[in-house]
Amino acid sequence: MEKKALAYFQSGGPTAVINSSLYGVIAEAFKHPEIGGVYGSLHGVEGLIEDHLVDLRKEDLEEIELLKQTPGAALGSTRKKLPPVGDPLFGKIIATIKKRNIGYLLVNGGNDTMDTCYRLHSFFQAERMDVQVIGIPKTIDNDLFLTDHCPGYASAARHVMNFVKMAVVDGAAYPKGKIVLVEIMGRNAGWLTASSDLLKDDERPDLIYLPESSFSLSDFLSDVKRVYERKGYAVVALSEGLDLPRTNAGGTDSFGHSSLEGVSIHLAEEIKSKLGIGVRVMELSLPQRADPILASKIDIEEAVLLGKAAVDALLSGESGKMVALRRLSDDPYKTEVFLADVGEVANKEKFFPREWILSPERMSDEFRNYLRPLVKTASHVKYDEAGVFLTARLRLETL
Amino acid sequence: MEKKALAYFQSGGPTAVINSSLYGVIAEAFKHPEIGGVYGSLHGVEGLIEDHLVDLRKEDLEEIELLKQTPGAALGSTRKKLPPVGDPLFGKIIATIKKRNIGYLLVNGGNDTMDTCYRLHSFFQAERMDVQVIGIPKTIDNDLFLTDHCPGYASAARHVMNFVKMAVVDGAAYPKGKIVLVEIMGRNAGWLTASSDLLKDDERPDLIYLPESSFSLSDFLSDVKRVYERKGYAVVALSEGLDLPRTNAGGTDSFGHSSLEGVSIHLAEEIKSKLGIGVRVMELSLPQRADPILASKIDIEEAVLLGKAAVDALLSGESGKMVALRRLSDDPYKTEVFLADVGEVANKEKFFPREWILSPERMSDEFRNYLRPLVKTASHVKYDEAGVFLTARLRLETL
């Protein structure tokens, strides 16, 4: 009988370490001659639909090594969600699976992707096709169920911590400074914004606002005013997902700004108009999820580990699972890999525990103990001759 | 006769390496017992006015060493410009100078600061006071006259290059992506924005716009559209100082946005409304001048060197000069320090040569040869136990 081939795809917003999981998948799969082809599906599930697969065995080992510091999605990503079963797309997926003899499928992504993972697993089961599907988590939002934390989070948190410190150090230069609003990713979950709490007392934001707390504009303004009057400047960490009161009593937008403007621009206008204090907005933007320079070494290692564990799970006959991390101890930091039921992960969100938010000035010790081991170690970055971080240059040779 | 004391101050916007020049000043001054006190003036010239001086000899050597990776202004900065001679402030400066027996003054900053430097030098000469004044350049804008380049520029350029590459790598993930507008500092000079040109072909911005070129909105939109149609996304590097046509024929603001919004928000609105393509704005913001992690090793070394050279110039009896760099060769990279007349530097701006702008897609080889040696080497960064870059903790013990 022909050996079953393995296909892997990436989906959703890239992180600094999603390609480290790809590295782990490749490193492990190459060790197993019982696997037929080792394929990458380009642009997530779209590659399966369109039969856009690349042969990962054709890649240079040196470039594969660089995947561990390559941001973005090396195989391309997609925002596509699977349509309901019965849609012709499923026929196209079956055609590719059969044509390429794919029996192992790895799906690397966040919440939506785990839904895709679960639905593909269920579909193949219903069709009595011998295709096993395993999910590999990734998200800077850290909002996946069952796993202790998600690959991608720690690197993004380390970026946030270092960049908030830059804002604090820069902001302290003038006797009368500005209020710096640092806008941090996380539409619904405040894990990433909260990471700035781990900074030392004179390096940390004065105020931290997460989407998990109800937001009062008047409290916000009086908090900001109080800090500014004491220090002459203030640094405020804001989650992009803050639930702002965006409509006034008349039902119209009370700000009148465009969709391009995030919460920080809105709040900056409020500070300027109500408090008359100068404000600077600093959106951390894409680099939060794309900075390999501040990536956490442990995050890279865990992303690799989960990629390898996913291949092992397939070879053990598993399907419909997500490889996940269980924490055994904070100090010394110790975790183990386990298989979570991907149906329990799909489409849920793990929010930042409200009891960990002590005030806008302080998160709990539990949170700091949780975060500390994830961010503490720097990774070693290779630069090119222009001083720019190197990235993997893949051939992406299609089948 | 009592030995003359040395005072040093920082002024204007901080850079990643201004404290490296402070390090150089301290390292050199400590070697010379013929110098009386070695003082830092807090918040630029304000420290001289208010007699807020700190004794740098009281600082720990370990912390002084960390100045080389400490962003911000370790002694505080100021936006204050000197009033005309005759203002009572000058009397206060004289009082501090006499009280502390200051005979050497070092002034570290950009254009405005070199004006302060020149005016203090001229004032002390006119008053027949034995106070020598030497300027030390710093600016990420790289717009100071006479010096080949300015400390601070190369580190900011390395930050810009790496962050633009992140945007490119992240932006390439989706089959149909967005247009990413990267807004880069430089109110009048495009040196920093132009640095993104040094990136490799598949890592660089598709389009680069500097303030030195006249800007046509219709050309901009058609350039962007052309790239987007070819690639499915585009990354555009924009200088914050672009001369946008902000008023329409009727004389009113054609955009209607607030002062908080830079050129990138304005142009994003134009792209959305005129081309109907999704846009993401990425302002590099404060970290351009405050990122020690991507600081250029050569930049740090040169900032230190110029700090030392400034002390040497004082001890050689010089005044009214700025320590500057003259380039002897690009490859191998070789420079020498010389003394420029600070009066010739003050209040002028060195713009990016228009002949180096070949098109919005390409700067000249001359520019790349100029920039390459400045950015190529990474610095070694020390992190704390939370994975955050360490900074110097100074006592700042006032006299």
A86-118 confidence digits (pLDDT tens) = 899 999 999 999 999 999 999 999 999 999 999
Predicted local distance difference test score (pLDDT) of residue A261: 62
Nearest beta carbon to residue B387 from set A281, A291, A378: A378
**ipTM of the complex in this document:** 0.95
At residue A253, does pLDDT exceed 50? no
Phi, psi (5° rounding) for residue B197? -65, -20
Q: What is the pLDDT of residue B261?
A: 62
Q: Check residue B273 and report its DSSP letter.
A: I
Residue A262 CA to its chain's centroid (Å): 19
Q: What's the CA gap between B373 and A13, in Å, rounded? A: 35
Q: How many Cβ atoms from other residues are within 10 Å of residue A328's Cβ?
A: 11
**Nearest residue on chain B to A264, judged by CA atoms?**
B260
| Band (B251; pLDDT cuts 50, 70, 90) | very low
The first and second tokens of residue A125, run together, are 């089961």
A375 touches chain B (CB under 8 A): yes
pLDDT above 50: residue A318:
yes
Helix locations, B177-334, DSSP H = 191-194, 217-231, 263-270, 287-290, 297-315
Residue B79: count other Cβ atoms within 10 Å of its Cβ: 15
**Coil, helix or strand at residue B209:** strand
Query: What is the token pair recorded at A215?
Result: 């937001």
Query: Considering only alpha carbons, which residue of chain B is nearest residue A15?
Result: B170
Asked if the peptide bond before residue B332 counts as cis, ω within 30 degrees of 0, the response is yes
How large is the average pLDDT for residues B356-375?
A: 98
Residue A7's alpha-carbon distances to A53, A100, A122, B175, in angstroms, are 8, 9, 17, 19
For range B144-160, the mean pLDDT: 98
Report the mean per-residue pLDDT for chain A.
94
How many C-beta neighbours within 10 Å does residue A88 have? 9
- Decide if pLDDT at B166 tops 60: yes
Between B79 and B330, residue with greater pLDDT: B330
Question: Is A46 within 8 Å of A79 (Cβ atoms)?
Answer: no
pTM over 0.90: yes
> Which residues contact residue B12 at a Cβ distance below 8 angstroms, ignoring those fewer than 6 apart?
B77, B79, B109, B110, B112, B113, B138, B139
**Minimal C-alpha gap between A259 and chain B (Å):** 10
Interface test with B, best of A166, A183, A379 (most B CBs within 10 A): A166
Q: Given A291, A378, A386, which is nearest B166 (Cβ)?
A: A291
How sure is the predictor about B278, in pLDDT bands with cuts at 50, 70 and 90?
very high
Rounded to whole angstroms, how far apart are CA atoms B339 and B147?
A: 9
H and E: helices and strands count for chain B = 13, 13
Compute the distance between CA of residue A326 and CA of residue A91 in angstroms, rounded to an integer: 37
pLDDT tens, position by position, B341-350: 999 999 889 9
In this predicted structure, which of A232-236, A305-309, B261-265 has the lowest mean pLDDT?
Answer: B261-265
Say what percent of chain A tops pLDDT 70: 95
B-contacting residues of A 225-284, CB under 8 Å?
257-258, 260-261, 265, 268-269, 272, 279-283
- Res A14: pLDDT: 95
Which residue of the set B141, B143, B223, B291 is catalytic?
Answer: B141
Q: Residue B18 pLDDT more than 70?
A: yes
Q: Which of residues 377-396 of B touch A (CB under 8 A)?
A: 377-378, 381, 383-389, 391
Distances (CA, A) of B172 to A77, A136, B164, B192, B282: 9, 22, 12, 24, 15
Known catalytic residue at B141? yes
What order do you get walking across the sheet with A234-239 strand by strand? A207-209, A234-239, A179-184, A279-283
Contact between B311 and B133 under an 8 Å Cβ cutoff? The reply is no
A161 vs A173: CA distance, rounded Å = 19
Burial class from Cβ neighbours inside 10 Å (0-12, 13-18, 19+) for residue A301 reads middle
Reply yes or no on whether the pLDDT at B161 is more than 80.
yes
Which candidate, B21, B20, B38, places its Cα nearest to that of B29? B38
Q: Which residues are within 8 A (CB) of A301 and not within 5 positions of it... i.e. 6 or more apart?
A: none
What are A49-54's contacts with CB under 8 Å, separation 24+? A49/A89, A49/A92, A49/A93, A49/A96, A50/A92, A50/A96, A51/A92, A51/A95, A51/A96, A51/A99, A51/A100, A51/A399, A52/A398, A53/A7, A53/A96, A53/A100, A53/A398, A53/A399, A54/A394, A54/A395, A54/A396, A54/A397, A54/A398, A54/A399
Chain A contact set for B52 (CB, 8 A): none
- Look at strands B362-363 and B357-359 and give their pairing: antiparallel
Three-state DSSP class for B138?
coil
Strands A132-137 and A53-55: unpaired
Q: Classify each residue of B185-197 as buried b or exposed e, where b means 16 or more C-beta atoms within 10 Å of its C-beta.
A: bbebbbbbbbbbb
Closest by Cα among A299, A15, A165 to B292: A165
Q: How many CA atoms lie within 13 A of B381 on its CB side?
A: 27
- How many CB atoms are located within 10 Å of the residue B351 CB? 13
* Helix, strand, coil share (%) of chain B residues, nearest 5: 40, 20, 40
Q: Give the containing element (helix H, strand E) for A38.
A: strand A38-41
DSSP characters for A296-356? BHHHHHHHHHHHHHHHHHHHTT--SEEEEEEEEEETTEEEEEEEEEHHHHTT---PPPGGG
Beginning with the edge strand found earlier in the chain, give each strand of the sheet holding B279-283 in spatial order: B207-209, B234-239, B179-184, B279-283
CA–CA distance, B33 with B30 (Å, rounded to integer): 7
CA neighbours within 13 Å on the CB side: how many for B166? 25
Structure tokens at B391: 């900074």
**pLDDT at residue A30 is higher than 80:** yes
